[in-house]
Structure 1
Amino acid sequence: MALSVLDLFSVGIGPSSSHTVGPMRAAKQFTDGLVSAGQLPATVRVQAELFGSLGATGRGHGSDKAVVLGLQGHSPETVDTRTADDQVAAAALDAELRLGGSHRVDFNWDEDVVLHRRKSLPAHPNGMTFRALDHTGTVLRERSYYSIGGGFVVDGDVTGTEKIVPDTTVLPYPFTTGDELLAICEREGKSISDIMLANELVWRPEEELRERLLGIWAVMRECVDNGCSAEGILPGGLSVRRRAPSLFKKLAEAESANSSDPLLAMEWVNLFALAVNEENAAGGRIVTAPTNGAAGIVPAVLHYYTKFVPGADDDGVVRFLLAAAAVGILFKINASISGAEVGCQGEVGSACSMAAAGLCEVLGGTPRQVENAAEVGIEHNLGLTCDPVGGLVQIPCIERNAIASVKAINAARLALHGDGSHKVSLDKAIKTMRETGADMKSKYKETSRGGLAVNVVEC
């Protein structure tokens, strides 16, 4: 099973990769299946059922809206985030869908998109079922899908809880553990980003890869810019005010005044993360890194690199993303990046680990120092619950990204002060994260039935 850096970092829409991006992709995949099977002309109605965490927090995460957009042929990468809500509202008001963008079917919002708050499908907490019916009510096509984190979607025919989409590509340097990756680096005399680059060249030329990764970086920068300029209240009913615009103004003024505040860099990192996650909460254009709920950490640390590290350049950005993705692949293969499966340690924890590895790489860290930084990043997020207030990716998610971004920088710098040797390996930390997630009660895994979600009054 092979994974690319572009699997870990993909352009999507907020507020959630597993609850928004995944359902939209699954719905489009179902509609595309109707087209390829020649069943679209006979379809007069479609039904969607969302289960588990999707059913429990789907309203706050926009899962129902994402399904409607996907059925109408939209993809997370290209859907117009400015008109998405209007398109969904029009479908509900007009009582019709345009499957695949053209084929009209009747649509009843309350009956055709059902969120089951206490029912689950067997293979994963984020399950959904779609069916198409003809004029007699006969089911023409029925498929189940699982949104397994980071926007990844697998077919309902999977057995167990598969974490990755099958890809049989043969890589020059295959690895499934951190120890294997370090052994390859030592044997070949290469850095972690070098090994990732060599693997990536199996899929596409280096020039194309570089262009696409810098395109990902451009979307991250645009997201920060948008978050720093968009004032107001975030949607959803919690009345959370955007803080990034006012903080940006204060920091810009302090910078112009040549402030001697020694923690000013940390304040900027906080800003970068807040800006991204406020945009995510508002349904803006986001890069999964590796998920939407944790989308602010990698961009914040990358912004720290480009703004505060002398000599930072595009080559460094590419190496950062490659090294970060190598660590993300280890989480994806050996544990999970889904908050619905292992709690927020799988989202913010893995993102913190990835960002720490990426920064350590571009600051000149050896492979063992990079692995050490990644281990520190996840070790100090173990046990982190996913308990979003109101089922929205706002409290505690937005601030949590800021805190984890600073933690990632600290992890990288701490690792650079050592020689790479440490008692707890990244593999052991990831194994611990997986086991902790399995032991964690479901109410702490993106259901909004425990923790802050029940102890904070929604007002």
Structure 2
Amino acid sequence: MNRSTEPQEPLIPYFGVFDLFKIGIGPSSSHSVGPMRAAEAFLDELRDSDLLQHVKRVQIDLYGSLALTGLGHQTDAALLMGLQGETPDQIDTDTVATKVAAIRESQRLTLAGEHPISFRETTDLVMNRRTVKGMHPNTMHFSAFTDTSPDSPAVEATFLSIGGGFIHREGRTGMAQEKCSSEVPYPFTSANELLQHCEQHQISINELALANERTFRSHEEIQAGLQRIWTVMQECVEKGCHTEGILPGGLNVERRAPALYQSLTQRTEPMDRDPLCVMDWVDLYALAVNEENAAGGRIVTAPTNGAAGIIPAVLHYLQRFCPNVTDETIERFLLTAAVIGSLYKRNASISGAEVGCQGEVGVACSMAAGALTDALGGTPHQVEEAAEIGMEHNLGLTCDPIKGLVQVPCIERNAMGAVKAINASRLALRGDGKHFVSLDRVIRVMKRTGADMSARYKETSRGGLAVNISEC
């Protein structure tokens, strides 16, 4: 038989630790990191078509949640920076406001950092503030016009921002950077398959994850990458603990982490007089990260920006309050967290615009709970149970940010998610891993719940707290 006519095995993407944890910019992975990456991909298409130097105008149309909450989530700024050739992991976050102001004042931007064009935001960045039936809630359409094609696009492309900084180009089966699960030694598409591998080969979940990652990188590269992620998380907490002021956007939300940090570091009574003081520290770590995120600072998606404080908070708890924690412990934590996150990414969603905040804070809580359990010596079955508990008690969590800003209730919600993750881990570690609802089942339920959830509660700012709280 001719090889070209043989049926092809479906390609199942592999989501690894450096897919789930990406260094980027606040305040939103789907509304700022994703659009910036989409702009970068569109510039690549212009280069591939040898049209970049001939472009006279670029128009971007935003739809769904991107249009409804894009201004609050700084989607406009992210797209302007992306068109100028900036990338989420390399951009100097302290210069964004100045650069955006310069573009708006001059009504010009430098495409890909090399080709100046006019850019009138009122006509070239269109917010289609309506729900488009059949369209992904985070959709953006790019059109490039040239001298020879002033009225119809010479190149156009539609991108979907599908959560966690991931993007998808419509009309293509996958992005070029995607890896395939069939390449790794321990492929899995469910928690049940994951546990079967662990039992059959007598390995932990973090050992399985490391073996899979070594398909694509050396052990030394993996270690360096994981330590870089942890370093950025620590820097984010440190900056958040020492930066005072009011968060941008108009809600006049005051940063709370600096005052809380001062209060905790100045306490003189022994901690055993107030054992719940540990919870105050966990709250601090989460608040510090998400206040930095809300201010547009340097963030690690974990798995999204809106939920970026949970995993760093639990990691800081692990390092500060648990015994015998080393760099290797931190690496094991991140590897296990990514495995759990990949199950949600593959089988449900990590996008608040698709399934509500259960897909962001809920998934991050589940990842942190399972990873903490692994780091503290839990069995694979206990890890799976902790991850299930973390999601089970976040089912139905809505995404209803006030004024479209990743501030209220998002910042506090991370503190609550971090504490819940620690509790879920403790519950699992005190059991034998046997439980009634499996992780696979709770992921399916989360997906169905998101599908049933009204669009008003999925990052549109048209329901819930977003319309029932005064902005005064």
> What TM-score do you get using the length of structure 1 for normalisation?
0.97
- Per-residue CA distance 1:81-137 (angstroms, 9 max, x = gap): 001111111111111010000101111011111111104374521000001001233
Q: 2 CA distance for matches of 1:6 and 1:263?
A: 34
* Correspondences of 1:86-125 after superposition (within 5 Å): 86-120=98-132, 122-125=134-137
Aligned amino acid, residue 410 of structure 1: N
AA at the equivalent of 2:187: P
Which amino acid is the alignment partner of residue 214 of structure 1?
Q
**1:339 and 1:158 mapped to 2: Cα distance?**
24
Equivalent in the alignment of 1:69: 81
Contact kept in structure 2, 1:164 and 1:332, CA below 8 Å: no
The alignment status of 1:151 with 2:165, answered yes or no, reads yes
Contact 1:52/1:127, CA 8 A, preserved across alignment: yes
Q: Give the Cα separation in 2 of the matches to 1:417 and 1:391.
A: 40
**2:404/2:461 contact within 8 Å kept:** yes
The question of 1:363 aligning with 2:372 is answered: no
Q: Does structure 1 conserve the Cα–Cα contact (< 8 Å) formed by 2:233 and 2:312?
A: yes
Query: 1:431 maps to what in 2?
Result: 444
- Structure 1: state its 5+ residue gaps: none
The AA in structure 2 aligned to 1:139 is P
Distance (Å, rounded) in 1 between the aligned partners of 2:461 and 2:358: 16
Give 1:290's aligned residue.
Answer: 303
Quick one: distance in 2 between partners of 1:389 and 1:329? 29
Tell me what 1:130 maps to: 142
Aligned equivalent of 1:203: 216
Q: Does 1:188 align with 2:201?
A: yes
SS at 2:179's partner residue? coil
Structure 1 match to 2:10:
none
From 44, 48, 52, give the equivalent of 1:32. 44
Alignment correspondent of 1:6 = 18
**Which residue of the partner structure matches residue 410 of structure 1?**
423
Is the 8 Å Cα contact of residues 24 and 300 (structure 2) preserved in structure 1?
A: yes
Q: Is the 1:173–1:199 Cα contact (8 Å) retained in structure 2?
A: yes
Corresponding residue of 2:67: 55
Per the alignment, residue 353 of structure 2 pairs with 340
2:454 pairs with 1:441: yes
Compare 34-43 and 62-71 and name the one that shifted more: 34-43
| Alignment: residue pair count | 456
Q: Distance in 2 between matches of 1:367 and 1:80?
A: 40
Equivalents in 2 of 1:257, 1:111: separation in Å?
Answer: 60
| Contact 1:152–1:165 (8 Å) recurs in 2 | no
CA–CA distance in structure 2, aligned partners of residues 23 and 41 of structure 1: 22
SS in structure 1 of the partner of residue 93 of structure 2: coil
CA distance in 2, matches of 1:163, 1:400: 32
Does the residue aligned with 2:110 lie in a helix, a strand or coil?
A: strand
Distance across 2 between alignment mates of 1:27 and 1:336:
23
Taking the aligned partners of 1:79 and 1:163, their CA distance within structure 2 comes to 22
2:154 counterpart of 1:140: yes
Post-superposition offset of 1:31: 1.3
Deviations along 1:237-282, one digit per CA (max 9) or x if unpaired, are 000000000000000112x543421111110000000000000000
CA distance in 2, matches of 1:84, 1:13: 10
Amino acid at match of 2:466: A
- CA gap of 1:123–1:195, structure 2 versus 1, over 3 A, is farther
Q: Find the residue that maps to 1:61 and give its secondary structure.
A: coil
The answer for the alignment partner of 1:252 in structure 2 is 265
- For residues 287 and 54 of structure 2, the distance between their equivalents in structure 1, rounded to whole angstroms, comes to 47
Structure 2 residue runs without a partner (length 5+): 1-12
Distance 1:149 1:29 in 2: 16
In the alignment, is the contact (CA less than 8 A) between 1:16 and 1:393 conserved in 2?
yes
Contact map agreement 2:169 2:175 (CA 8 A) in 1: no
Do 1:51 and 1:120's aligned partners in 2 also have CA atoms closer than 8 Å?
A: yes
Q: Deviations over 1:16-69 (max 9, x none)?
A: 000000000001110121122110121100001111100010000000110110
Post-superposition offset of 1:139: 1.4
